[in-house]
Amino acid sequence: SNAEEFGEWLGTVRGDTEVVVEEHRPVPLWQHVLVGGRLYDLFVGEPGPDQKVNPQLERLARDEGRLPARGRGGRGGPPPRRSVPSRPDVLTRLDSQGLLPAITFIFSRAGCAAAVEQCLRSGLRLNTAEEADRVRVLVERRTSAIPREDLRVLGYWDFLEGLQRGIAAHHAGMLPTFKEVVEELFVEGLVKAVFATETLALGINMPARSVVLERLTKWNGETHADVTPGEYTQLTGRAGRRGIDVEGHAVVLWQQGLDPRQLAGLASTRTYPLRSSFRPSYNMAVNLVGSLGREQARVLLESSFAQFQADASVVGLARQISRNLEGLEGYGEAMTCHLGDVQEYGRLRQELKRRETEIARSGAASRRAAAAASLEQLRVGDVIRVPSGRRSGLAVVLDPGVGSNGDAHPMVVTEDRWAGRLSSADFPAPVESLAKVRVPKSFNARSPQARRDMASTLRALDLPGPGRPGKRRSAAADDQGLAELRAALRRHPVHGCDDREAHLRWTERWHRLRSETDNLERKVAGKTSSIARTFDRVCVVLDELGYLQGEQVAPAGRALSRVYSESDLLCVESLRQGLWDDLSPAELAAVVSTLVYSARRADESNPLVPSGAVQGALQEMDRLWRSLSQVESTAGVEFLRRPDPGFAWATWRWAGGATLEQVLGDDPDLTAGDFVRWCKQVLDLLGQIALVAEDLSPRGAELRGTVRKALDGVRRGVVAYSSLA
């Protein structure tokens, strides 16, 4: 780790500091691999830095790698591939070895719920009848304040059945009360198996005897990435309860392609550098200036750990720049041609390639625009065909889903019984209505039976299959500029050189290295005093908008110092400009939700929003955000994110008195846990707005009354009796 670096920084700000590194684990952790029904130790020999990987596991990996494509398991051939044991089988095996309670980490919410369902279907019971009775008493006491109609919506009875058997899920999509019940029962030993996402590994005192990892890869929001050594240690660190267990156990399920040596590297790595992500914000800036003044605030930021790390990293960058400059000199000699200027010829080729790409993108953009326009014409009951992807096939439109900016994300049910929203990305060409079916007004997309019935209706239409797409004429064939570039390339002297391609390869290497060197030089320039420079730029923004007046904090700045939000400046500016003065309580709650909500996936953009006053306020806020972003750009910072209306509809409905079933029924992807968590954040920001409204708005007293009513509208039902978790 970089403990020494951290200690060195402490020495610069606090005086002599001695670093003490302790790597002894109070409860020893044993590493295992479950292959089929057999549990293998990952290491052999005595614990220590020189532990060796179990040769039996290495032999299994070699045997699997030699399996031929055909004839597996034949006479005289290698053994067949080993199937991954089911989750009930894994728990049964751990139970027989005395390794429960266990936490199984599954890196998706849906996977956790499916795991519990699989165990319930198998009939697995880990609790005795007496323990099941104790579970029921505790759960009924903890959920007594939740109305029965909400319990039904929340899947309470399946949740209780799993708990009584000693099995539960734990993830951010669950109601906070349900998660707290799981945590309490697990600590009491009344839940023996928990299927959890990695969020359980952070900040919750819920250790187990064993931790199970089904896979060593996880989705990071962009791609499936390998679990890092730090993540592996964080997850398996849950195993071994201090004061209860004499040892903990980490169990990895054998998967095709598992490399025991790679797993050993994860399990034995103990170096995880601490990196500072500290940066000044608007709220921080006005608070620092108010308490210390600008110069002292700047000195304080210069002594931060973030700046210390930034300055230290410059040394290595400077050495790399020096090596790159030597390489550039050598590349320059290798790319010289006696016939002409190779760089000029290379620029022509690059321009030609850029023009070809531009034409291709223009054509693709036109097709996307046509597809988006066709989606806007869809109506409820239209039957369409999704051309490709996981949702390919027939689908019926339940809701056209035209957002505030005109983009359409229709809610559909497919012939495979999937319900959700589509976008123009699902249609490479304009979509047409193939038929019309009746959609009942009471249709509930969350109901499996309703989806099955609609899918049957689609299959009964007997529509013809998709036709073959026609060929499109290339736009490049008619582009005059492209023809001129090709002609210029052929006329260039270097075009006739026998070593032309070799020259160009050296030229490409020179440009890549030059670009890399330019980036390194910019990094060096940007890292030196970078934290203080960012603070200066933040102060420029605050000066421009009237929050700071030289060394003094203006009245608006004092209000900003009391708003703690990622969108602090946009929130306070909205109040100053009176954008929310005429909103009703439910409308205000919906608008404020856009400052706290952040979509989990990129395809959640352009959702439905309430029309009328909410839509108008959001348009004004978007205009304000653009204006503030321009001020930021001029100052050289970029802090404010665009308001996200993805939770506005649900907030508006809830604050307006809708039931939990109605709110969750509007969006099949919205879970009770997410709903409560975002509502809690809306409540937090509304509470801060109530404190500063009268300082910022001429109608502040009236607005404060609206805020109070909005707080009452949101703080009810499951939101009121759930703690923030």
Distance from C-alpha of 239 to C-alpha of 103, rounded to nearest angstrom: 8
Choose one of 235, 268, 301: the last residue of a domain: 268
Indicate whether 653 and 571 sit together in one domain: yes
Same domain for 637 and 530, yes or no, is no
Q: Give CA–CA dist 65/298, Å, rounded.
A: 59
pLDDT tens for 137-196 read 999 999 998 888 889 888 999 999 999 999 999 998 889 899 999 999 998 999 999 999
> Which pTM was predicted?
0.67
In the listed set 431, 459, 487, which residue is the last one of a domain according to the structure? 459
Measure the CA angle with vertex 291, ends 285 and 294; round to 5°: 55
CA 538 – CA 536 distance, rounded (Å): 5
Q: In the numeric block, which tokens belong to residue 462? A: 């007997």
How far is 610 from 645, CA to CA, in rounded Å? 10
The H or E element spanning position 697 is none
Q: Can you spell out the DSSP letters for 344-370?
A: HHHHHHHHHHHHHHHHHHHHHHHHHHH
Rounded to whole angstroms, the Cα distance separating 284 from 10 reads 22
Query: For the chain, how many structural domains are there in total?
Result: 4
If residue 556 lies in a helix (H) or strand (E), which one and from where to where?
Answer: helix 555-560
Question: In terms of domains, do 453 and 416 share one?
Answer: yes
How far does Cα 633 stand from its chain's mean position?
A: 26
Based on the fold, state whether residues 424 and 573 are members of the same structural domain: no
In a domain, 136, yes or no: yes
The answer to whether residues 618 and 658 belong to one domain is yes
222 and 119 assigned to the same domain: yes
**Nearest one of 335, 342, 274, 276 to 307, comparing CA atoms:** 276
Residue 376's nearest CA partner among 413, 345, 406, 398 is 406
Domain assignment present for 117: yes
Q: Do 196 and 143 sit in the same domain of this protein?
A: yes
Q: What is the pLDDT of residues 36-78, one digit of tens each?
A: 888 998 888 766 667 788 889 888 888 876 655 444 444 555 5
Mean pLDDT on 326-331: 85
Residue 58 included in any domain: yes
Looking at per-residue pLDDT, the higher value among 389 and 104 belongs to: 104
d(CA 119, CA 123): 7
Q: Is the pLDDT of residue 313 over 60?
A: yes
Q: Are residues 531 and 660 in the same domain?
A: no
Q: Is residue 324 included in any domain, yes or no?
A: yes
Query: Is position 40 within any domain?
Result: no
Q: Which of 103-117, 570-584, 602-616, 679-693 shows the lowest per-residue confidence on average (mean pLDDT)?
A: 602-616
Same domain, residue pair 549 and 424: no
- Give pLDDT tens digits for 684-722: 999 999 999 999 888 889 999 999 999 999 999 889 876
Mean pLDDT for the stretch of residues 308-328: 78
Is 372 part of a structural domain of the chain? yes
Question: Both 257 and 368 in a single domain?
Answer: no
Task: For residues 216 and 242, state if they share a domain.
Answer: yes
- Nearest C-alpha neighbor of 307 from the set 531, 519, 115: 531
Q: What is the CATH number of the domain that holds 96?
A: 3.40.50.300
195, 311: one domain: no
Domain with 326 in it: 279-335+499-561
Confidence at residue 1, expressed as pLDDT on a 0 to 100 scale: 65
Please tell me the chain's helix, strand, coil percentages from 3-state DSSP, rounded to the nearest 5: 55, 10, 35
